[in-house]
Amino acid sequence: METVNILIEALPYIKKFHHKKVMIKYGGHAMIDSDAMSSTARDTVLLKYVGMEPMVVHGGGPEISRSMSKLGKEPKFIGGLRITDSETMDIVKMVLVGKINTDIVSKVCLHGGKGIGISGKDNQLIKANKKAPHVMVDNSTGEEITVDLGLVGEIESVNTEIMEMLAENNYIPIVSPIGVDEVGNTLNLNADTVAGDIAAKMEAEKLIILTDVPGILEDPKDPETLIKKVKVDEIKDLIDNGIVKDGMIPKVLTCVNAVENGVKSAHIIDGRIKHSVLLEIFTTKGIGTMITK
Amino acid sequence: METVNILIEALPYIKKFHHKKVMIKYGGHAMIDSDAMSSTARDTVLLKYVGMEPMVVHGGGPEISRSMSKLGKEPKFIGGLRITDSETMDIVKMVLVGKINTDIVSKVCLHGGKGIGISGKDNQLIKANKKAPHVMVDNSTGEEITVDLGLVGEIESVNTEIMEMLAENNYIPIVSPIGVDEVGNTLNLNADTVAGDIAAKMEAEKLIILTDVPGILEDPKDPETLIKKVKVDEIKDLIDNGIVKDGMIPKVLTCVNAVENGVKSAHIIDGRIKHSVLLEIFTTKGIGTMITK
Amino acid sequence: METVNILIEALPYIKKFHHKKVMIKYGGHAMIDSDAMSSTARDTVLLKYVGMEPMVVHGGGPEISRSMSKLGKEPKFIGGLRITDSETMDIVKMVLVGKINTDIVSKVCLHGGKGIGISGKDNQLIKANKKAPHVMVDNSTGEEITVDLGLVGEIESVNTEIMEMLAENNYIPIVSPIGVDEVGNTLNLNADTVAGDIAAKMEAEKLIILTDVPGILEDPKDPETLIKKVKVDEIKDLIDNGIVKDGMIPKVLTCVNAVENGVKSAHIIDGRIKHSVLLEIFTTKGIGTMITK
Amino acid sequence: METVNILIEALPYIKKFHHKKVMIKYGGHAMIDSDAMSSTARDTVLLKYVGMEPMVVHGGGPEISRSMSKLGKEPKFIGGLRITDSETMDIVKMVLVGKINTDIVSKVCLHGGKGIGISGKDNQLIKANKKAPHVMVDNSTGEEITVDLGLVGEIESVNTEIMEMLAENNYIPIVSPIGVDEVGNTLNLNADTVAGDIAAKMEAEKLIILTDVPGILEDPKDPETLIKKVKVDEIKDLIDNGIVKDGMIPKVLTCVNAVENGVKSAHIIDGRIKHSVLLEIFTTKGIGTMITK
Amino acid sequence: METVNILIEALPYIKKFHHKKVMIKYGGHAMIDSDAMSSTARDTVLLKYVGMEPMVVHGGGPEISRSMSKLGKEPKFIGGLRITDSETMDIVKMVLVGKINTDIVSKVCLHGGKGIGISGKDNQLIKANKKAPHVMVDNSTGEEITVDLGLVGEIESVNTEIMEMLAENNYIPIVSPIGVDEVGNTLNLNADTVAGDIAAKMEAEKLIILTDVPGILEDPKDPETLIKKVKVDEIKDLIDNGIVKDGMIPKVLTCVNAVENGVKSAHIIDGRIKHSVLLEIFTTKGIGTMITK
Amino acid sequence: METVNILIEALPYIKKFHHKKVMIKYGGHAMIDSDAMSSTARDTVLLKYVGMEPMVVHGGGPEISRSMSKLGKEPKFIGGLRITDSETMDIVKMVLVGKINTDIVSKVCLHGGKGIGISGKDNQLIKANKKAPHVMVDNSTGEEITVDLGLVGEIESVNTEIMEMLAENNYIPIVSPIGVDEVGNTLNLNADTVAGDIAAKMEAEKLIILTDVPGILEDPKDPETLIKKVKVDEIKDLIDNGIVKDGMIPKVLTCVNAVENGVKSAHIIDGRIKHSVLLEIFTTKGIGTMITK
């Protein structure tokens, strides 16, 4: 009986988002183990069955670092970006495309979705350029130091031809965040940005980023201070006064960019909470921070 | 949270019946007032939104009798069938097509469904022949008495062209149970039979008949004796030993006929229970009697 | 031989109106009895077979009044509009949708057309608002008297989705002139206005209104004074100088409105003449008054 | 008024042949001059406008002979077949494809049809083989004489791909009766046979052959003895007892063959009568001889 | 091995022109005999098989003059235009449509293309008007002499409906350069102009005109002085200083007109060279003169 | 000029294989380095551009072994099959899907093809079961020893839904040879078998297996003894008399199986020869061994 009452309660949300595209960025806890991944995949498939059109972009930083360590290579970061030499790029591709992506595809298919894995290289879905070197200042000498990031890329353009075909044929695409430059080199991309840019190009209704925090907190130590809704033009203040800081800054800016380019709302939610995606979509209050125009 | 857990629990049923047609016969309590009708309509719309293809046939006996009384005409029945003279047929059409059907369409549309009312006359959806006269034996004399039933029909054929068009275009058809003979006369039809025959012709997954009893009961006074599942070849015994009797016989035979002509399962359920349709579809146990091959 | 010569003569008109939509408002004598209705329906079907796309809106005032009388209710009008309480609205629906509409559908199907009955409630084809109360002045006192018209509506918008589907699938739609407000109430509408608004929204070539007069007459007593053609900008003068008056005014204004919103020509013709629709379309002179831009 | 009554009378025939294919063989008087051709073309276009799908094959013997004479070549026939050397074949092509076909196309287009001329060579519509030599017996010597017919062909197969495309796109195809052998030679074909074979392959409802006689006559001198209907299995007798003889034999056998291969009825009618095609289709009696199974 | 290396070398051109339309004007040597025509047709078919969409317009002046002579009619020209009386027009049609066109169709089909012949009369592909009379000055008297050209036309409009249908269905259309005026008269048209106008209307990538000269030569006696590329705005100078003169002027102006109306490049090439069309398309240098914006 | 002559020579082959599917198994030398892979990819793209529909399955054994070694894992084989524990399976997936597949996709896209990488897990393209353990006999003791192969699979079924979608949309699919069992485990599959089974299911015209030998040699030391054509029913003899032996046996049996299940011809060719695929398809003699029914 309860089942039924709740379906009835969910009906308005189901109606509201019928045939709407939803881009979900899998990250952090939601991918921590096979069970978490399975649960996230099941939620994604459910969205499909109640009429939405989910798309997935996944990350994979920790697993890449683990694989590098196994191979005796030390992961190096600068300004939050992984320095990616050619050998590292091979590991990145293998872990993202060969391991994480195929694992998600497996889960999605097991739960009844038509999962298909693609990467930014397929039909040159994501064209990218090598990122400019990172510039730092040596505090002691005041000298500028320029660090080449290697095969790290910035998105130049998204060719959604494959995505359109998959949407029309009821597939759930799982996208690995790598791109290709004009001579065919593979470039390592930021997964949040990939999710945001594809969401915008596909005119998604929602971009949902799964993280390991509750959302934007006024006081990072107090989950009660969660900001539930924020407009894109209020974001600058939140950054200026330090409420949004560190690793949250690029995530929030990705959201702002997506919303400014056509996505109706972007959501930063806590992937550690079970069924967080569904809670965000099917309840009035939601559970994380929603960013809108 | 509960909402979400329950959606997750409903997922297997949603998957199982994705893109499957479900014919629902509205009758009895489910149509007793505006609220009951609204609730039934909302459940029907929900089926559509989670991917099924609901179709509706409605009855309307009590309302027809009320209208006749208002006009000073006494309703007459013989063998459970309404004797339908030409004037009565006009009242039947006006009540079924003009009142009940438009009311259901209203509710379905208000809940977000694309409701559309049709009758067996539209594009000659249901071709029917006048039913043979009813023959009775006068107990005192032993004489046979033949009673002409007037404009009461038996279905000859169902032309699903309209139904197919509506299904392809995502409408929820609401069908009034009248038919047309070859010279254009309107004939009064049994609504259960109309539901069953259209369900069979449309290769529906389920035929669900809303009644005012819990289903088939071994002991009609004890709801605890509900028979949850029965095979079509067990029905004869149930009738022979009097467990299925009176008005339940034609309903059950309609179910048998539907199942033998392609419907996967037929359900007799209690329309007095709120959300009975959803309970029957989305719970393992169901709430009424299911008849299968 | 004659048959053939005449087909040859009709060819230019058949070509001219090939694949063009024609909205016909059935009213008055054309619906007076089963034979008249059958004849009008056959003409409509013929239009379909020679390549046009006919649509029908029907009225039904006299029949509604008769049904009310039978039920002991006295029909009341004010300013030409029926005061429609809730009980009256039920009778209106029953007569229009349940009786007249199904009768026309029967005739159309018998003559080989794919007739289908719909009302303004199906998929909320016609959204309407309750009409403002009628304001009169009491001559003796000079006081303003406000009379609530009840469930009488004014068209807010026409959603032609169903009409488009039916046109694509070669159906002849028969539309009952009722609408629905935003909470699902049924509203009584003027049939001429419904015909005109749907014609405009569907970009019909012609709107043909069947009446019981020959058209606009300079001298209402002399049929020889029929005005065969008139431009929309000449209408005001005709009203001002009293040539168009009384019940003809709203009909003519409906025509003007239709023509100003995309219909190529509107025709007021005499439904008492046999095959008047065909005579108007397939002869050079026509038989009624044509209103164009 | 008459116009309209007659349209109404034609309605049953229009309905009966709606969307049915009709192959018309233009020959004899129907092509004798520009006016006759124009009239025949207009009738053909009318069929299209009232919903049929006409196709045309034309002959052209007299015109070919005239052109040969102008060029100082004497036309020679044997057993009714034109002996066709290479130079003659060029004249045949030029007259049929370049002159007669383009003239018919002009007329059809002028009357509002989408005429398009094709020949059996287009996309190898008609593959043909060289006909075996004609064998005669020299009465005086009793010797067999073998006469090579030159580029005269027998139809091997019909590839209706073009015809299907044209039908789907509402064109009226005008076909010149020439074929192509496997090395690309053009072969002269019998126009009646081409009409019959294409009609059969396209599953036409009717094959109508325009000739200069009223049909099959019991007594060739008495038009009153016209046989209006005949079954294919009665034809042999008609030939055996000499009622069908000479040039009528191949025409009748073409009809038999067409009917046995899927055409519903074949008609031999008098092209000298104005509008003969329409008279045959739109009147109960018809005007010529109808051959059916 | 060579075969394969060359296919590899051709790949960039094949890619570049994939699914691009190419209009080829057959003229001069390329049509001089059956072998030349066969070779040109095979090249055209090859374009189709490697993914382009070739269209053909053919000329036929010399053959028309030959046929006129056979019939004892003397061909007359004025200002490069054939004076075309009614009898001449018949010969023009017969030769172009009945002979040359069917011959090309044969060759195209033999090489595996889906050739289909059409003329400007089919579905009124090319509407034309009678050309104004030619005006000359009598040198001796200074008087103006006006010469009526007869049935010579100027293109008024191109209706590409047939061309679009044929392109979608993978046919190779072979077009005869005649047009039709508004009353159905056939008019004789310049084949280069027809090719150019259809190319522009169909948004062709290339217009290739096969001639009997190498292209535009700075010194007409020295093939080494071939101008390989020229812009449309440089053409005027070439004409003014006499490099482009006589019969080359209208060809060049046709190219200019085509390029200014949407064709990417127009090519005047030497049809006497074997496979000239392929050499122009599949080699970097090409062999003739290319005119671009 | 040569270019053009050779295109003309290739035309019959291009026509013959137009719109035909060709499955190419990339293996051995053809994938040995970036240049070899690029060349093979370019040949594949060329097939697409001249109208064929190429599909690719790739192997990757040596690269997998190299990656295992880097990670300190020793590759173990038994009966030619890699013993695949869970950790090895991860490496297999990462190398095949993450590295080799993405590299091929890059090359195909760079040469202008719409390359897209998929694996047997996408939408459960390849369902597989765990292979039965390998059974050996200990020569010294005569005892049977059973060795579990781990995650090595046998194909149960191929679901070509994705392949059909990609073919319709002009993609070149690159398939990694892994499968999925019914609980979602990834299984290691033989790449030749995957190529053969997909080719059969897709009704490919050709299956081409790139190896490092010239084909089937009568005398393995003498390339001059190459068997150019062999029928499937002659294969048993070749195996029985030892001409086909060792690693060639499964390849040949894969070919036999493919041909018996609908592939027109299977080819074992030498991937060390440049453009071997094109040489096999576009030359009369071919360069390897062709197996047909």
pLDDT, tens digit only, all 293 positions of chain E: 566 666 777 888 889 999 999 999 999 888 888 899 999 999 999 999 999 999 999 999 889 999 999 988 999 998 788 999 999 999 999 999 999 999 999 999 999 999 999 999 999 999 999 999 988 888 888 898 888 999 999 999 999 999 999 999 999 999 999 999 999 999 999 999 999 999 999 999 999 999 999 999 999 889 899 999 999 999 999 999 999 988 899 999 999 999 999 999 999 999 999 889 998 998 888 899 999 99
Q: How far off is chain F from E149, nearest CA to CA, in Å?
A: 43
- Lowest-confidence segment of C118-132, D4-18, E65-79 by average pLDDT: D4-18
User: DSSP states of B129-145 as a string?
Assistant: EEPPPEEEE-TTT--EE
DSSP-derived 3-state class of residue F208 = strand
Find the CB nearest B165 among C115, C165, C180. Answer: C165
Is it the case that residue A12 has pLDDT exceeding 90? Answer: no
DSSP-derived 3-state class of residue B50 = coil
Residue C16: alpha-carbon gap to chain centroid: 23
Please give the DSSP secondary-structure letter assigned to residue E263: -
User: DSSP states of C151-210 as a string?
Assistant: SBEEEEEE-THHHHHHHHTT-EEEEE-EEE-TTS-EEE--HHHHHHHHHHHTT-SEEEEE
Q: Average pLDDT, stretch A75-96? A: 92
Angle between helices D2-16 and C2-16 (to 10 degrees): 80
DSSP-derived 3-state class of residue F149 = coil
The CA R_g of chain C, rounded to the nearest whole Å, is: 19
Q: What is the pLDDT of residues F93-150, one digit of tens each?
A: 999 999 999 999 999 999 999 999 999 999 999 999 999 998 888 888 889 888 899 9
The residue among C52, C198, C188 whose CA lies nearest residue C128 is C188
Q: What is the pLDDT of residues D205-260, one digit of tens each?
A: 999 999 999 999 999 889 899 999 999 999 999 999 999 988 899 999 999 999 99
Instruction: Name the token pair of F73.
Output: 């894992």
Which subunits count as partners of chain C given 3+ CB pairs below 8 Å? B, D
Find the CB nearest F14 among E2, E50, E282. Answer: E50
User: DSSP states of D143-207 as a string?
Assistant: -EEEE--BSBEEEEEE-THHHHHHHHTT-EEEEE-EEE-TTS-EEE--HHHHHHHHHHHTT-SEE
Residue bearing tokens 């649960």: A39
Helix, strand and coil content of chain A, in percent to the nearest 5, comes to 40, 25, 30
What's the confidence (pLDDT) of residue C3? 60
Question: Cβ contacts of residue B263 below 8 Å, gap of 6+?
Answer: B23, B196, B199, B200, B203, B204, B205, B206, B207
CA distance D83 to D98: 21
What's the confidence (pLDDT) of residue F154? 96
Alpha helices in chain A (DSSP H): 2-16, 34-49, 61-70, 86-93, 102-110, 161-168, 191-201, 235-240, 248-260, 276-282
- The letter for the amino acid at F242 is G
What's the confidence (pLDDT) of residue D29? 85
Q: Which of A2, A7, A19, A283 to mutate to test the interface with B (most CBs of B within 10 A)?
A: A7
Which subunits count as partners of chain F given 3+ CB pairs below 8 Å? A, E
What's the confidence (pLDDT) of residue D9? 77
Q: Which of C69, C86, C88, C121 to mutate to test the interface with B (most CBs of B within 10 A)?
A: C121
Alpha helices in chain F (DSSP H): 2-16, 34-49, 61-70, 86-93, 102-110, 161-168, 191-201, 235-240, 248-260, 276-282
The interface predicted TM-score of the complex, written ipTM, equals: 0.93
Domains and CATH numbers, chain A: 18-292 (3.40.1160.10)
What's the confidence (pLDDT) of residue D139? 85
Q: Supply the mean pLDDT for chain C.
A: 93
Sign of the alpha-carbon dihedral angle for B258, B260, B263, B268: positive
Q: Average pLDDT, stretch B108-120? A: 97
Partners of B278 on chain A (C-beta within 8 Å) are 3-4, 7-8
Percent of chain A with pLDDT over 90: 78
Q: What is the pLDDT of residues F71-109, one digit of tens each?
A: 889 999 987 889 999 999 999 999 999 999 999 999 999
Please give the DSSP secondary-structure letter assigned to residue A244: S
The residue among B24, B4, B2 whose CA lies nearest residue B199 is B24
Strands (E), B70-219: 77-78, 81-82, 115-119, 126-130, 134-137, 144-147, 153-158, 172-176, 178-180, 186-188, 206-211
Q: Average pLDDT, stretch D161-168? A: 96
How far lies C277's CA from each of C20, C261, C274, D1, F171, in Å? 15, 22, 8, 11, 56
Q: What is the pLDDT of residues A188-200, one digit of tens each?
A: 999 999 999 999 9
CA distance A211 to F216: 57
Sign of the alpha-carbon dihedral angle for F226, F230, F232, F238: negative
Under an 8 Å CB criterion, which residues of C touch B? Answer: 70-71, 90, 93-99, 101-102, 105-107, 109-110, 114-119, 121-124, 161-162, 165, 169, 171, 178, 180, 183-184, 186
Is it the case that residue B254 has pLDDT exceeding 90? Answer: yes
Q: What is the pLDDT of residues D44-101, one digit of tens each?
A: 999 999 999 999 999 998 899 999 999 889 999 987 889 999 999 999 999 999 999 9
Yes or no, beta carbons of A102 and F93 under 8 Å apart: yes
- Residue B20's H or E segment, with its range, is none
CA distance D288 to D265: 12
**Within chain F, which residues score under 50 in pLDDT?**
none
Instruction: Name the token pair of A237.
Output: 């203040």
- The letter for the amino acid at C65 is S
What's the confidence (pLDDT) of residue E1? 57
Cβ–Cβ under 8 Å, residues F39 and F71: no
Angle between helices A2-16 and B2-16 (to 10 degrees): 80
Yes or no, beta carbons of B4 and A50 under 8 Å apart: no
Q: How far off is chain E from F40, nearest CA to CA, in Å?
A: 11
What's the confidence (pLDDT) of residue C1? 56
- Lowest-confidence segment of A75-84, C225-234, E265-274 by average pLDDT: A75-84
Q: Average pLDDT, stretch D98-107? A: 96
DSSP-derived 3-state class of residue B278 = helix
Under an 8 Å CB criterion, which residues of F touch A? Answer: 70-71, 90, 93-99, 101-102, 105-107, 109-110, 114-119, 121-124, 162, 165, 169, 171, 178, 180, 183-184, 186
What's the confidence (pLDDT) of residue B1? 56
Find the CB nearest A9 among B3, B49, B279. Answer: B3
Q: Average pLDDT, stretch A252-278? A: 95
What's the confidence (pLDDT) of residue A172? 98
**Closest residue in chain D to residue E110, using alpha carbons only:** D184
Quickly state the pLDDT bin for D3 (edges 50, 70, 90): low
CA distance E174 to E113: 11
Give φ, ψ of E32 to 5 degrees: -70, -35
Give φ, ψ of E244 to 5 degrees: -95, 120
B61 is in an annotated binding site: yes
Partners of F98 on chain A (C-beta within 8 Å) are 93-99
pTM: 0.90
What's the confidence (pLDDT) of residue A2? 62
